[in-house]
Amino acid sequence: MIAISKDAVQIKIDMLGGFAVVFNGTLVTEHLKSSSKLSRLLQYLIIHRHKTVSQEELIDILYKSDFESDPGSAVRTMVSRARSALVKGGLPVAGEIILAKNNGYIWSRAFGCAVDSEEFEELCKKAESSADNEKKLGLLMQAASLYKGDFLPDSSAELWAMPLVRRYRSMYINCVYSALELLTEAGRNKEAEDICLKALRIDPFDEAILEYHLRILIALGKNTEAHDEYKRMEIMYYDVLGVNFSESLRSLYKYISHPVIKEGITLEDLLTEWVEGADSPGAYYCDLSVFKTLYQVEARSLSRSGKSAFIVRFETKHEPGTKNGDVMAKLGTAIPGCLRTGDLFTRSGPNQYMLMLHNLTYEHCKTVISRILYTLDAKYLPKVIGTSIKPVKPIV
């Protein structure tokens, strides 16, 4: 066997977004993918490499739910298998890295070892203590680039890993907040957009980052993308969390939907731009706050015109064997195709759609409801979807 100097051994360990041990550019943990116990053993030893991990600790994390007649022997076998797997993967000094000590085991600190989660934490701490905004931003950007995903996702349900998952996620989100604040202040919107996109892939339900992203898209002149992003995320919030956006986000949507008129534009050009920028002909979908405003306009108009308007509500019910998100998605597809140009509809809650129908009778509204229900699969008919009709009350 060729002797290798300890000083020459540089091991790179990834724990953010997945687990990997790399030696001299070679992934040496490839042979561990088929055994979650081997991976957990190595992960635990690496995380706690500042101390000797007792055999009892390893028995607890590896065999807490499995029956073993001789768990101590099982742990020794597992350690031997881990060493062999690392050697097979290309790490010849594995026997000198995982050491038996005081009725336990320790990952030797005698070899050079770089762990991405520890580097990430160190960068975050340096950034937090820096008074120089330019230096601080550089550190934050480095930290954000290191965070490829949550800490040890395959082991995230383990009791010993849960606090670390939450801790590193919290550090990452705070890192993103600070970086976005400095980037937007400096007008570096493209870099800020990239950070937002990555952060929203990791945590799509962080409203603060979503709001940053929408404002950045607006600053970059991407109002259409901002509008589409808002609608897509609004539906996701309804379907997954069953909640509405915050007032701050809803107010931002009003700006996205009603952009500032450019200085010097003629009335003819303005009207042409509005028509060309409109959605395809048919029923108009709008945000709930816009729907409320248009309802109030309609109510004032009715007092003068004497015409009629009705509000129709569709509400899905939770029934065994059905998924609310599936039913709402089908409704969202069916409703616009069954309405006229000029009719309005909105999603008013996690399990509700509301329609505003003009110049129809009560019986005509019932016909519209029947037409919408008819387009759905039989299993989603009235048993799962409730409906109601109310006239718009004129405001005198």
The pLDDT tens digits for 187-203 are: 999 999 999 999 999 99
Tell me the CATH number at 67. 1.10.10.10
Shared-domain flag, residues 122 and 165: yes
Q: Cβ distance 111 to 6 under 8 Å?
A: yes
Residue 150: how many other CB atoms lie within 10 Å: 20
Confidence of residue 255 (pLDDT cuts 50, 70, 90): confident
What are the residue ranges of helices labelled H in 239-361? Answer: 247-257, 267-276, 288-305, 324-337
How far is it, in rounded angstroms, from Cα 281 to Cα 153?
A: 46
How far is it, in rounded angstroms, from Cα 323 to Cα 321?
A: 7
Shared-domain flag, residues 132 and 102: no
Q: Which is more confidently placed, 337 or 216?
A: 216
Q: Which is more confidently placed, 268 or 379?
A: 268
Structural domain including 324 reads 284-391
Distance in Å from the first CA to the final CA of the chain: 95
User: What is the tens place of the pLDDT at every residue in 31-42?
Assistant: 777 778 899 999
User: What is the tens place of the pLDDT at every residue in 261-285?
Assistant: 556 666 766 566 555 555 555 678 8
Tell me the CATH number at 220. 1.25.40.10
Question: Would you state the structure tokens that stand for residue 393, as one six-digit string?
Answer: 């009350």
Q: Specify which residues 10 forms β-bridges with.
A: 112
> How much is the pLDDT for 333?
83
Tell me the CATH number at 297. 3.30.70.270
Q: Cβ distance 343 to 357 under 8 Å?
A: yes
User: What is the tens place of the pLDDT at every residue in 382-391?
Assistant: 567 888 999 8
| Element of type H or E holding 170 | helix 162-185
Residue 396 lies in a domain: no
User: What does 324-354 look like in DSSP terms, one character per residue?
Assistant: HHHHHHHHHHHHHHTS-TT-EEEEEETTEEE
Shared-domain flag, residues 105 and 202: no
Q: Cβ distance 203 to 169 under 8 Å?
A: yes
Shared-domain flag, residues 251 and 333: no
> How much is the pLDDT for 141?
97
Report the number of distinct structural domains present in the chain. 3
> How much is the pLDDT for 263?
61
Q: Position 311: which residue type?
A: I
- At CA 383, angle to CA 379 and CA 388, rounded to 5? 125
Q: Is the pLDDT of residue 3 over 50?
A: no
How far is it, in rounded angstroms, from Cα 318 to Cα 88?
A: 53
Q: Is the pLDDT of residue 68 over 70?
A: no
- Domain closes at, from 110, 133, 166: 110
Residue 224 lies in a domain: yes
Residue 282 Ramachandran class (φ > 0 left, ψ -120 to 50 alpha, else beta): left
Q: What is the DSSP letter of 166?
A: H
